[in-house]
Every structure is written in structure tokens, then in C-alpha cells.
Amino acid sequence: MAAVRETVEAARKLEAEKYSAGFVTDIEMERAPVGLSEETVRFISAKKQEPAWMLEWRLGAFQRWLAMREPNWAKVHHPPIDYQGATYYAAPKNAPKYKSIEEVDPEILETYKKLGIPLREQEVLLGVEGAPKVAVDAVFDSVSVVTTFKEELAKAGVIFCSMSEAVREHPELVREYLGSVVPVTDNFFATLNSAVFSDGSFVYVPPGVRCPMELSTYFRMNAQGAGQFERTLIIADKGAYVSYLEGCTAPMRDENQLHAAVVELVALDDAEIKYSTVQNWWPGDAEGKGGVYNFVTKRGDCRGARSHISWTQVETGSAITWKYPSCILRGDDSQGEFYSIAVTNGRQQADTGTKMIHLGKNTRSRIISKGISAGNSSNTYRGLVSAHAKATGARNFTQCDSLLIGHECAAHTVPYVEARNSSCQFEHEATTTRLSEDQLFYLRQRGIPEEAAVALLVNGFAKEVLQKLPMEFAVEAQKLLEVSLEGSVG
Amino acid sequence: MSLALPSRRDEAWKYSDLARALSGHDLSSVAPARGGSVIASMARAFAEEERVLTIASRDGVHAVEHSLSHEARGAVTRIHVPALQAGMVVETIYGHLNLAAGLSEIRIEEGGALTRIVIQQDAQKAVSAEEIAQVALNEARVSVAAGGTFRQFVIAEGAKLARIETHVALDGEGGEVELNGVYMVREGRHADLTSTVTHQAANARTKQLIKGVARKGGRGVFQGRIVVPRGAQGTDARQYHRAILLEDGAEIDAKPELEIYADDVSCAHGNAIGALDADQLFYARARGIPEAEARALLIEAFLIEAIPEDLPQRDDLITRVQRWLQT
């Protein structure tokens, strides 16, 4: 079919300039010496002016990490990572906390502007009464540059700050919850993160509080050779509600950048956490050169009864994605949800999915995954649904659909289902098809250009998930889908 | 060099820990067969001779039925289906051996057809967990040439560890595969149906329906993988696994896998694990059928859906399901 042949040819033409976030900000950096040793860990901890218990925690993780081996079960291939060749800490020089947005280095602000990040949303929103507000904790490489809307959040009793600040200001909360969802020894990358994590966001929503605005973080990797190891911890106390948006984008680099983040969510009784991600890191060029290695551990713990955690992700970037946002449904009647769109193009590889661990009674979970592979890419859904012997009445529904665009791409579905309770009800459905020629023909016949027709069909395919995104993200995500598949179709 | 036994840490044996099931067995005499699996290595080491079977259709039309029983510790059988010939093989794996390993190497030539029925029997007398000592392993490697058909039906009652592996390569265009099965496991039994179908050629079809039930203390495992390499356009593959946990304390693990490298394909898989439908039970009870009877009826109907309608042994297989339900 001509369209498919054109697709493949066009995919080859996919060039670096298509990636609108691919630029480098030239500012002075303060960085740790290259390599990873106990000294590096001490250096990071000292830079962050951390208390002794935090340093001990990091050193313990580092010792464990030395004895661990990199996992190899995912369907991804990459040259061995040189952990001693990377820099584990990079901060913009002169990194005192800014008191107001005006103090921020203009070049940094310019970077965010190019990305279209609403750091100055205050001005934008001024005069728009009742408009939804978004608080941003912007991470520029390793240091949280500025946190906005802090005061308004403080009025509601919500703590939203950088992880380093939380370690200093709220040690009791950090000590209680840090590592309680993703233990230090959880997996190779999480342990590495525990030793060298640089910064990230910390959120605490007190009992009964509905967070007055959507919280948002944009992560951005900038320094050459500097991996980003952020650590996010979100706690929704009893009856609290919070919606958190995470957006990621990194500038173009030739060398592969390692990203090993850890995100922990804790929902106590009746609490609800919505966590949405749009990931648009540099995927490497058409030949697979460069790009971000995204090895992330994300897990939510529905610790309390009737708690609810929902993950929504749109993954379009990274050379390699290795990510399984999961829910531990510990509390009775708790609920977990996972909505995902993963797009791979060029030579991208994605191995992503979720785990729903049913431990409590009458726990429910729902998984909707839409994988779209184009070009020479490989896209794997890997998920686990399990019910403990005591998880009576556990329910799960899983739907994974894969869409193939072009002859050279691959789509895999690997669900694991483990049932140990006779009253559980687990259902899994999966389909793999290519873009329907009939539908394409129908649209073309009505004068819709091929590229627009494909975008329309892909958006339709992913609609169920797109609808789950908060409004702020939904528009952006739809645009991102189109941009990601640009050149791969028609 | 002696054989390394796979354990839970090996992805392919994640749910069936062979090393644990065979701890205490002396396997020092088993040499790993070159390029072969663990089961193949054991079957070759234990088998006294290799059986060779060539299928020829009676009158050139009717399939001839062959019976193969696995009464010895090891059995290696080569089955050859020449072009345009059709046949049937019934393999019975008895439950009286401590360790039995069978290997069947099947070659189906152009336009040939083979129906294979595998009956894995429970040890008759074993009542307590200690008495169920046997490990029953079986592996079939099947190649199907253009226009060939391979149909299989497995009925497994489980053992301390029973694993029936089937690996099919669809080497020629337009091949067809049907891999159905039923497993029924009671206390102390473990039945594992593992399969791979690789669509090496274009326009081939795979259909798979596996149904299973587990009682308290029983464990059922289904691992099915369908691989569609680049170039296998026009592939149509459907894979379904449905299982019921009859009582608390039962366990069912499933890993249906689709691995697809071609775009002009239609592949789907479904997996459902749950309890007996309460509405159906109520319906039967409302019509005066006693609960135990209603349950047996529903479970029977659920299981026998996987037994192909046109299988000559269908009635015998249904009887086997009924017998299991009665004990």
C-alpha cells in the first residue's frame, strides 16, 4: 500500500528539528565530579545541606546498590550504561531560592517559555475570575527553581515544595513516608535513585482538604551528561484530594541521558490522588542516536479504606521507556486506575504498563492502555494484576489495544494475571491491529489530507485515555500525539 | 555437565518451580541436550528408544488414530505427516510415575493434517498431598508446512507438577493451528499448559481456547505466546483463556502474550479469571436443581466449550470431565 510505503519513507525523514524542545540553555552549572562513589553521595547530601539521617539513608541505599544487578527482563535493548561516566548532580550556579519570579535568571525563564510552560501563569490568569489555577514547581536539572502559588496553598494547609526543602522543613513527614511505598531496595534503578536523588516535589494535603488547584511540575534535563534523579512524594491524608500534573521535556543531546526517578504516592482513608504525566523527552534522532533513557519507578499505595489513586500517562518521548506506574490496593474498597497512551516512533523502545496488587477486600482496578507504534519502534505493554488470598471481591478490567503504523514497528502485550481468591473477577482484553485502511480511505475521500486523517484516527483510538486527562493537559497531549507521529504517516 | 533445573526466577518457569518439584531427585545422569529444552533433555536421557510414526490416511481420506502411552519414564516420538495425509494421535500420560518426561517431534508437510489429543491423568490413588509425588512433563515441537493443519486438545488433571508444553512453528503460508485445552486441578495438584505459536509465514491462522478450574489447594497455570515476525502479513490469531476458581485457596496464574512485528495482522487475546457466575447458579437453583448438581452442571458446560465439536473422542473427553467433577 502506497500510504504505508510513504509512511516508512517519511519516518526516515524524521529529523531533529521536529523536536521543538531541542535546544540547550547556556548557563553556568555547578556539578558533582564525574562518577559514582560514596563521595558523590556525600557531595550531593552536603550540597543539599541535608541532616545526618538523610545522608545515612542515602549511604545505605548506595551500599545496597553496589550489590545489585541491572534488570534485563524488559523488551528493550541498549548498550551498557556507564554509571561511572555520568554526573550525578548539576545545579544552576548561584542557586539560592528565589523569592519571586522576577529574580529568576532570564535565560531559564526563556527556556521555559520556549517549552510553553505557564510559569508566569499568574499574570496570564490575572483578571480571569474563577479560572483554574496551576501551581508549578519547576525543576531545572537538579534544583527546584521556583515554586509559585505557595502562599495560597499554605492557606489551605497544603505543603507543596521541593524535596530538599521538605527534608529540611518537614523532616517528620519525610521520614515517615519516604521509601514507604518504594522501598530503598525495590529495584536497581530505585535504589540508585535513593542514593543520589537530587530533587523533586513534595506534596502533603492535610485531612479533609481538597487541594484548591492542580499542582504541576515540569522536569527538564539540561546539563550534558547529567542524569536526572528526581524523587517525588505525595501524601493525601484522610479525606484529602489532590491532582498532580507532571510534564517532562529535555533538550536535544547526543549522548544518552539516564533518568531514574522515583514517585511515591500515599493515599490514606477516603483520600484521592490523580497523577497525570505527559512525557516528551528527547527520543533520539531517526537513527536512534541520543535520547533519554527513562527508567522510572512510580507506585501508589492506597493505604486507607476507600482510597483512590489514578495514574494517567501520555508517553511520547524518550529513547527507552521502562515504567510501570502501579497501585497497591491495601485498604478495603480502595480503587486503582491506570490510563495510558504510549507512542513510539523512529527507533524508540517502550516497555510500559502497570501493576495492580489487590490486597484489601472489595478492591477495584481498571487498566486502559493504548499503544501506538510507528517507524522502527518497539512498544510493549507489560502489566500485572494480582489478588491476594484475602482480597475477597477483587475486580479488575484491563483493555490494551495496540495500533501499528508501518511495516517495521513492533507491538507486544504481556499481561500477567495471578488470582488467589475465588471471589475475584479479572478480565483482560487485548487487540493488535493496523490503522484501518477503510477508515483512512473514507476520510481521504472526503478531502481530508492523509496526515490530518491519521491524526484524527489516532486521536479517536486514544480517546478513552485522553478524556481522563485534566483539561490543562488534554489539549497539549492531543497536540503532542500529532507532533510525535508527524512524518511517520502519509 | 549436568542439567540446570529452572526455578521461579526463570521467566519461562515463573509459575512452575521445577527445581523445587524435583528437589531430591537424582538427575546427575541427565546431560543437557544440545539446543534442547529441559524437558527434551530429560525425555532423551530417560527414553530407551525413539519411536517413529508415519501417518497415512486410510483410503487417502480418513484419519487413522494412533495411541501412544507414556508408561515409561522417558518417551521420544517422531511423528511425520506426509503431504496431504491426515491422522490422529492420542497420547496418554499416566500418573503412576515419579517422574516422566515425553517429547514429541512432529513434522506436518504441505497440506497434511494432524489432530493430537493429550490426556494427562491424575494419580488414581493419591489422596493426600504427600502421596502426590509425580512430576509429569511433556513437550511437543511441531512444524507445519504450507496449507498444513495442526489441531490439539489437551486435558490435564495435574500432578505435583504437570507441564504440557506445545511449540508450533507455522513455516508455510496458509497454515492453521488450533490449540485448545482444559485443566482441572484439585488439592495438591498443579497443571501448567504452556504454548508458543510462531507465524513464520504469511496468511496463517491460530485459534486457542483454554479453560480451567481449580479447587482449594490446586493451581492452574496458562502461558501462551503468539509470535508474528516481520513479514508474516495476513496473520489471524485469537487466543482466549478463561478460568474459574472454585474455592478459596485455589490459585490460577495466566500470562497470555502477543509479540507482533508485522502490521497487516489481526490479533486478539482475552483472559478472564473469576468465580462461578452467581446469576447462572441462581437461575438453575430457581428451577429446582440442587446446588451441588447445578454447580457441576455449570462447571461442566463451562469446561467442555473448549472441546471441539467435531472431535470423535468428544464424548469420552466429556465423561472424563464429569468423572473429575464427581470426585
Say if CB A366 and CB A397 are below 8 A apart.
Answer: yes
- Name chain B contacts of A413, Cβ cutoff 8 Å: 256-258, 269
More confident residue, A34 or B221: B221
Q: In a mutagenesis test of the A interface, which of B263, B264, B281, B299 is the best target, namely the one with the most A β-carbons within 10 Å?
A: B263
Q: How far is CA B61 from CA B56, B67, B79, in A?
A: 9, 19, 19
Instruction: In whole angstroms, give the CA distance from residue B167 to residue B106.
Output: 10
Query: Which residue of A389, A405, A428 is in closest CB contact with B270?
Result: A428
- Distance between B147 CA and the closest CA of chain A, angstroms: 24
- Distance between A238 CA and the closest CA of chain B, angstroms: 32
Q: Which of A13-27, A73-87, B83-97, B307-321 has the lowest mean pLDDT?
A: A13-27
- Distance between A71 CA and the closest CA of chain B, angstroms: 12
- Identify the closest residue of chain B to A409 by CA–CA distance: B261
- Name chain B contacts of A372, Cβ cutoff 8 Å: none
Phi and psi of A375, rounded to 5°?
Answer: 60, -135
Instruction: In whole angstroms, give the CA distance from residue A437 to residue B162.
Output: 45
**B80-103 mean pLDDT:** 89
Q: Give the DSSP per-residue string, A66-104.
A: HT------SS---PPP-GGGSB--EEESS-PPPSSGGGS
- Identify the closest residue of chain B to A421 by CA–CA distance: B248
Give me the pLDDT at residue A95, please. 41
- Name chain A contacts of B248, Cβ cutoff 8 Å: 389, 421-423
Assess B281–A contact: CB distance below 8 Å, yes or no.
Answer: no
Give me the pLDDT at residue A137, please. 60
Instruction: Please classify residue A223 by burial: count the beta carbons closer than 10 Å to its beta carbon, then call 0-12 exposed, 13-18 middle and 19+ buried.
Output: buried
Q: How far apart, in Å, do the first and last CA atoms of chain A sit? A: 11
Assess A414–B contact: CB distance below 8 Å, yes or no.
Answer: yes
Q: Is A111 helix (H, G, I), strand (E, B) or coil?
A: helix
Question: How many Å separate Cα A288 from the centre of its chain?
Answer: 21
Question: Residue A378: in which H helix or E strand, if any?
Answer: strand A378-387
Name the DSSP class of A286: T
Give the pairing type, strands A134-140 and A143-147: antiparallel
Q: Where are the alpha helices (DSSP H) in chain B?
A: 18-21, 38-46, 278-286, 291-304, 314-326
| Inter-chain residue contact B275 with A422, CB threshold 8 Å | yes
Phi and psi of A164, rounded to 5°?
Answer: -60, -40
Say if CB A150 and CB A161 are below 8 A apart.
Answer: yes
Picking from A381, A368, A228, A384, the residue whose alpha carbon sits closest to that of residue A299 is A384
Instruction: In whole angstroms, give the CA distance from residue A29 to residue B170.
Output: 58
Assess A415–B contact: CB distance below 8 Å, yes or no.
Answer: yes
No. of helices (H) and no. of strands (E), chain B = 5, 16
Cell matching residue A220: 527538564
What ipTM was estimated for this complex? Answer: 0.91
Query: Which residue of A405, A410, A429 is in closest CB contact with B261?
Result: A410
Q: How far is CA B157 from CA A202, A382, B11, B120, B160, in A?
A: 53, 30, 24, 6, 10
Instruction: In whole angstroms, give the CA distance from residue A95 to residue A91.
Output: 7
Contacts of residue A50, defined as CB under 8 A and 6 or more positions apart, other chains included, come to A164, A167, A168
Cell matching residue A156: 489551605
| Single-letter code of the amino acid located at B1 | M
Say if CB A377 and CB A344 are below 8 A apart.
Answer: yes
| Inter-chain residue contact A429 with B268, CB threshold 8 Å | yes
- Name chain B contacts of A409, Cβ cutoff 8 Å: 261, 263
Cell matching residue A254: 547526543
Number of A–B residue contacts, CB under 8 Å:
115
- Name chain A contacts of B269, Cβ cutoff 8 Å: 413, 428-430
| Inter-chain residue contact B263 with A423, CB threshold 8 Å | no
Q: Where are the alpha helices (DSSP H) in A420-461?
A: 437-445, 450-461
What sign has the CA pseudo-torsion A187, A189, A195, A200?
negative
Highest mean pLDDT among A17-31, A424-438, B124-138, B167-181: B167-181
Instruction: Please classify residue B278 by burial: count the beta carbons closer than 10 Å to its beta carbon, then call 0-12 exposed, 13-18 middle and 19+ buried.
Output: exposed
Assess B283–A contact: CB distance below 8 Å, yes or no.
Answer: no
Q: How far is CA A465 from CA A7, A132, A342, A469, B73, in A?
A: 25, 21, 11, 7, 54
Instruction: In whole angstroms, give the CA distance from residue A216 to residue B158.
Output: 53
Say if CB A428 and CB A398 are below 8 A apart.
Answer: yes
**B187-197 mean pLDDT:** 96
**B221-239 mean pLDDT:** 95
Q: Is B143 helix (H, G, I), strand (E, B) or coil?
A: strand
- Distance between A393 CA and the closest CA of chain B, angstroms: 10
| Inter-chain residue contact B253 with A433, CB threshold 8 Å | no
Q: Is A107 helix (H, G, I), strand (E, B) or coil?
A: helix
Query: Cell 491424575 sits at which residue?
Result: B122
Q: Is A290 helix (H, G, I), strand (E, B) or coil?
A: coil
Domain boundaries, chain B: 50-277
Q: Is A482 helix (H, G, I), strand (E, B) or coil?
A: helix
Assess B250–A contact: CB distance below 8 Å, yes or no.
Answer: yes
Phi and psi of B173, rounded to 5°?
Answer: -60, 145
Residues in chain A where the model's pLDDT stays below 70: 1-30, 91-149, 217-227, 248-256, 472, 486-490
Say if CB B219 and CB B129 are below 8 A apart.
Answer: no
Picking from A337, A384, A383, A332, the residue whose alpha carbon sits closest to that of residue A359 is A332
Query: Which residue of A406, A414, A426 is in closest CB contact with B272?
Result: A426
**B292-318 mean pLDDT:** 95
- Identify the closest residue of chain A to B223 by CA–CA distance: A416
Q: Is A105 helix (H, G, I), strand (E, B) or coil?
A: coil
For residue B104, what are the β-bridge partners? B77, B140
No. of helices (H) and no. of strands (E), chain A = 13, 24
Say if CB B217 and CB B245 are below 8 A apart.
Answer: no
For residue A338, what are the β-bridge partners? A311, A367
For residue A322, what are the β-bridge partners? A295, A351
Assess B274–A contact: CB distance below 8 Å, yes or no.
Answer: yes
- Name chain B contacts of A432, Cβ cutoff 8 Å: 258, 260, 265-268
pLDDT tens readout for residues B15-72: 999 999 998 888 888 888 777 899 999 999 999 889 999 998 766 556 667 887 777 7
- Distance between A146 CA and the closest CA of chain B, angstroms: 45
